[in-house]
Amino acid sequence: MKQFVFALILAAASVAHAGGPYVFDYRENGRPARVEVFITDVTEEPLAQTPDLEALEATPVCYKLAAAWKRPVDWAVKGTEFPVAKNTVIGLMTQAMNIWESAAGTRRIFGENDQGILGFRAPESYAQFAHMSNPFLAVTMRHSRQKPNGTYEPTRWTILYSLDHPWATDGRADAYDFLSVAAHETGHVAGLGHPDPSACPDETMYPGIFKGELKKRTLHTGDIAGINALY
């Protein structure tokens, strides 16, 4: 069942555009379940623009919220192809998660990295590099299970990073900065959506990223307000 749902999600994402969440309902072990899919596109570096004073005075709300986690879940990095060394991926994803947790205070949002050492089963939540439809750079999926009161509570997550684009960790201009993208995708895991791109271009949760962009490593005011609204 999980493989079928995973294939369905990728098929739907292949005809979608950046943004989300795209919501799919299904049944898992006989119970209603749901998955939210967030898509991050590659973008060109934005041109300098004259500030819209009227828009600035309006002070837009630069965050969108999904459901918060009731408890942290452990996670793994899976796969066999890594354009960035696997241990580096683990370290930078942990750093990205720490960025969000620091902004939210002392509460733990994410679990621990657990690679399933010594034959023990690895966690169901994981990140992996995979081939995807261009121009997708990353896709995050949050799986939820329906509670008796009809609401949905997140249970596990998946982040897919594209193998079809260049990656870097040193901020060079000809590749996508892994920490910046990891900060954006783990923001989705935490429960943040994409804000209005026309009004909130500086947020880590802005729905696109260009080569050499580093500002998503640091949370902006909307990101900080959003994570504190959730936690």
78-134 pLDDT per residue, tens:
999 999 999 999 999 999 999 999 999 967 899 999 876 654 666 889 999 998 766
- Give the integer Cα–Cα distance in Å for 118 and 100: 31
CATH number reported for the structural domain that contains residue 44 in this entry: 3.40.390.10
For 33, the 3-state DSSP assignment is strand
Instruction: Please write the tens of the pLDDT for every residue from 122-155.
Output: 688 999 999 876 668 999 999 999 988 988 899 9
* pLDDT of the residue at 47: 45
For residues 20-37, average pLDDT: 83
- Residue 190 has, within 13 A of its CA and on its CB side, a CA count of 33
Q: Which of 140, 180, 159 is nearest to 75 (CA)?
A: 159
Phi first, then psi, for residue 44 (nearest 5°) are -80, 155
| Percent of the chain topping pLDDT 70 | 80
Do 153 and 70 touch, CB atoms closer than 8 A?
A: yes
Q: Which of 58, 47, 65 is nearest to 190 (CA)?
A: 65
Q: pLDDT class for 21, splitting at 50, 70, 90?
A: confident
For 152, the 3-state DSSP assignment is strand
One-letter identity of residue 40: T
Instruction: Please write the tens of the pLDDT for every residue from 155-173.
Output: 999 999 999 999 999 999 9
Compare 122 and 180 and report the one with higher pLDDT.
Answer: 180
Range of the domain at 202: 2-230
Count up the domains in the chain and report the number.
Answer: 1
Instruction: Please write the tens of the pLDDT for every residue from 184-226.
Output: 999 999 999 999 888 899 999 998 899 999 999 999 999 999 9
